[in-house]
Amino acid sequence: MATDRIARRQASDARPLVVCGKRGNAEELVAIDATAEQRGLRIAMTLAQARAMHPELVAVEEDAAADAHLLEKIADWCRRYTPLTALDPPDGVLLDIAGCAHLFGGEAALAEDLAARVAGFGFAVRVGVADTIGAAWAAARFSPMASITPGAEREALAPLPLKALRIAEETAADLRRVGFKRIGDLIDMARAPLAARFGEALLRQLDRALGLEREPLQPRLPVAPYVAEQPFPEPITREEDVLAVAERLAHRLSAMLERRGEGMRRIELELFRTDGQVSHIATSMSRPIRDAHAVRALFNERLAALADPLDPGFGFDLARLNVIAAEPCPPQQTALDQSHDDGELDRLVDRLSARLGARRVTQLNAQDSHIPELAAMNVPAQAVGAAHGWPAFRCFRDAVALSPRPLRLLTRPEPIEAIASVPDGPPLRFRWRRALHEVASAEGPERIESAWWSDDAGPARDYFRVEDGAGHRFWIFRAGLYRDTVTPSWFLHGLFA
């Protein structure tokens, strides 16, 4: 799954793709794609070994969070079939399709539809259908049969490897070492010796798979008390259509709500994209409502306020409105109260940013660099916690007793004509913007070298703080040291008060 996740994002090529992660001290392969598998790479191989074998290999650092997130998204998407979906990490989703399979033309048709769609998203997928979670799990992963008929679990599971029992790899390995290789080897074994050696858990898994013990499915999301949904044969894309369907669904629900004297307090609109993305838009009301039109208005607001605009891709083919919280509803409706107060300054910044552009409403952040123009950076004030570099700067400044820095820094150092005493001396006079300044007093140099590791590193600079006869104070520097160059050039970089 992890390699599919990555492959979906990158242009695929013929190179083997692997995902690697730290296991103990070694960097190991934790997921591989089909190409990698064909070329002889295996999960749990060290990355170094894999690289040695296939230097062209593409290795991506594992991202457990991204994988988990992806699995959740897939599980969400599966809610199009049934609200009873559960995660089966790291790469499985469980669906309770009892009672809803008929909506999709039966179990087989549902399985086929699901497999086709998920495959269409770019994932390798296997589907198993059975009466027990265990059997379905085994069927999906190990059986040539995708579906196990009720009552035939024994026959179907017997030839499968022990891993198909959802037991720890360690236990399976222990069992193999004493000669048990398939589930069938265990089914008729005396239970007590097995339990004594391999624990009750083994037998419980066996019983669960065979349907001798019930195993409930724990749905990932609570099942909403009121749900209405609408599939679209022709996927919809326009925001207008989304709002319309929201209103229609709300209308449908309001009838149910009214019957029980309740109103919506918190609702969620689920939009299923044809490519498997699911958007959730939730909104709360300050008091319970049943008015479908108000719901539309609310979603209108919410859609407008979304940080990322709603992206329909190739369209939504299913919409569902869940009432997550409902409360007894008084007969009359009231207008929505929208006031919330988040810090005046933030609102000011938002207002200014909205009008002038976020780029122009900025704060200064200190950067960890000696180079003056890099030492402070302009960041949009809307970026939270933008100015966190200053305490470190103050520590540094105090520790080395940094020479004074100018009040204003020119956007770009401006070349000046200067006559200086060599070596290392300040200019005697210089001309900036056509004005000649006689240097009355100067301090320096402060030598700041460039970032040698960077490709666009300039020459070293010698900074001087100079004051002209009229009391104007400047920060000027000579680019290039006398030991490196014979023709240094001079620049004015900043102004002191």
Partner 1 sequence: MEAAHPSLAPARDSDTGPLRCCGCVLVPGALHEVAARSESASAAASGFVLALAAWAAGPRATLWIAEEMALAENGALYGPGLESFGLQPEHLIRVAVAHEREALWAMEEALRCRGVGAVIGEIRGTDRGIGLTASRRLALAAGHDGATAFLLRASPSDAPVAAATRWIVGAAPSAAKAHGPGPPRLAVHLTRNRRGSQGSWVLEWNSVEQRFDLAAADRQPVAEADGDRPHRTAASV
Partner 2 sequence: MRYVEFACTSNFSFLRGASHPEELMAQAATLGLSGLGLCDRNSVAGVVRAHVAKREQNMTLRYHPGARLVFADGTPDILAYPRDRAGWGRLTRLLTLGNLRAEKGDCILYVDDLLAHSDGLEFIVMEGAARLLAQLREAAPGRVRLAASMLYRGDDRARLAKRAEQARAAQVPLIAVNDVHFHHPDRRPLADLLTCIREKTTIDRAGRRLAANAERHLKPPIEMARLFRDYPEAIAETLRLSDALTFSLDELKYEYPDEQVKGFASPQEALEHLALKGAARRYPAGLDDTIKQSLAHEFSLIAQRHYAPYFLTVHDIVQYARSRGILCQGRGSAANSTVCYCLGITEVDPVRGGLLFERFISTERQEPPDIDVDFEHERREEVIQYIYDKYGRERAGIAATVISYRGRSAVREVGKAFGLSDDVIGAVTSSIWGGGGGRLRDNDLRRAGLDAHSNTVRKIQALVDEIVSFPRHLSQHVGGFVITRSRLDEVVPIGNGAMDDRTFVEWNKDDLDALGILKIDVLGLGMLSCLRKAFDLVEKDYGERLTLSSIPAEDPAVYRMLSRADSLGVFQVESRAQMSMLPRLRPEKFYDLVIEVAIVRPGPIQGDMVHPYLRRKQGLEPVSYPSKELEVVLSKTMGVPLFQEQAMKIAIVAGGFTPGEADKLRRAMATFKRTGTIGTFRDKMVKGMLERGYPREFAERCFGQIEGFGEYGFPESHAASFALLVYASAWLKCHYPDVFAAALLNAQPMGFYAPAQIVRDVREHGVEVRPPDVNFSDYEATLEPGPAAAGRLHELHRDMAGDIRTTHAIRLGLREIKGLSEEDAKLIVARRSSFFTSPLAGKVDQRRLAGVDRVGGKQQTSALASTPLPIPPPTKGRSRPSSTGYGGRKECVASTEQVISYDSLRDLWLRTGLAPRVIERLADADAFGSLGLSRRDALWAVKALQRSGDHEDLPLFRVPAARREPDVALTPMPIGEEVVNDYRFLRLSLRAHPSSFLRADLARRNIAANDTLRATRNGAWVRVSGLITVRQRPGTAKGVIFMTIEDETAIANIIVWPKTFERFRPIVLGARFVVVSGRMQSESGVIHVVADRLEDLTPLLARLAEGGADIDALGRCDEVRRPVQDDPRDILMRGSRRALVSLLQDMPELAADLDIPARASRHVPAKKRRTS
Judged by CB under 8 A, does residue 376 bind partner 1? yes
Dist CA 359 CA 344 (whole Å): 20
Q: Contacting partner 1 (CB under 8 A), which of 17, 47, 361, 460?
A: 361
Give 192 or 335: the residue with its C-beta nearer to partner 2. 192
Binding site for partner 2 (CB under 8 A): 20, 27, 39-40, 47-49, 51-55, 59, 61, 173-174, 176-179, 181, 189-190, 192-193, 196-199, 367-370, 396, 400-404, 443-449, 451-455, 460, 462-463, 465, 483
Give 123 or 430: the residue with its C-beta nearer to partner 1. 430
* Three-class secondary structure of residue 193 per DSSP: helix
DSSP character for 46? B
Give 23 or 287: the residue with its C-beta nearer to partner 2. 23
By a kind-dependent CB cut-off of 5 to 8 A, residue 479 interacts, out of partner 2, partner 1, none, with none
* Three-class secondary structure of residue 301 per DSSP: helix
DSSP codes joined into one string, 100-169: TGGGGTSHHHHHHHHHHHHHHTT------B-SSHHHHHHHHHH-S-SB--TT-HHHHHTTSBGGGG---H
Would you call the peptide bond into 445 cis, given omega within 30 degrees of 0 as the criterion? yes
By a kind-dependent CB cut-off of 5 to 8 A, residue 449 interacts, out of partner 1, partner 2, none, with partner 2
Give 57 or 78: the residue with its C-beta nearer to partner 2. 57
**Would you say 324 and 282 are in contact if contact means Cβ atoms under 8 Å apart?**
yes
By a kind-dependent CB cut-off of 5 to 8 A, residue 49 interacts, out of partner 1, partner 2, none, with partner 2
Q: Give 396's strand partners.
A: none
The residues, any chain, with a CB within 8 Å of residue 413's CB and separated by 6 or more, are 373, 477, 491, 492, 493
Q: How far is the CB of 441 from partner 1 (least distance, A)?
A: 5
Give 283 or 369: the residue with its C-beta nearer to partner 2. 369
Burial of 326 (0-12, 13-18, 19+ CB in 10 A): buried
Phi/psi of residue 423, nearest 5 degrees = -90, 165
Q: How far is the CB of 163 from partner 2 (least distance, A)?
A: 10
Chain centroid to CA 372: 35
Dist CA 20 CA 315 (whole Å): 35
Dist CA 175 CA 182 (whole Å): 9
By a kind-dependent CB cut-off of 5 to 8 A, residue 340 interacts, out of partner 2, partner 1, none, with none
Candidate ranges 71-79, 121-129, 137-145, 388-396; the one touching partner 1 (CB under 8 A): 388-396
Phi/psi of residue 113, nearest 5 degrees = -60, -45
Judged by CB under 8 A, does residue 381 bind partner 1? yes
Q: Contacting partner 1 (CB under 8 A), which of 177, 259, 408, 483?
A: 408
Within 415-444, which residues bind partner 1 (CB under 8 A)?
433-436, 440-444
**Would you say 94 and 217 are in contact if contact means Cβ atoms under 8 Å apart?**
yes
Burial of 126 (0-12, 13-18, 19+ CB in 10 A): middle
* Three-class secondary structure of residue 482 per DSSP: coil
Within 459-478, which residues bind partner 1 (CB under 8 A)?
465-467, 469-473
Q: How far is the CB of 31 from partner 2 (least distance, A)?
A: 15
Candidate ranges 102-110, 118-126, 304-312, 397-405; the one touching partner 1 (CB under 8 A): 397-405
Give 109 or 392: the residue with its C-beta nearer to partner 1. 392
Give 317 or 462: the residue with its C-beta nearer to partner 2. 462
Q: How far is the CB of 474 from partner 1 (least distance, A)?
A: 9
Give 56 or 346: the residue with its C-beta nearer to partner 2. 56
Q: Contacting partner 1 (CB under 8 A), which of 95, 375, 420, 460?
A: 375
Residues that bind partner 1 (CB under 8 A): 343-345, 347-349, 351-352, 355-356, 360-366, 372, 375-376, 378, 381, 387, 390, 393-394, 397, 402, 404-411, 433-436, 440-444, 465-467, 469-473, 494-497
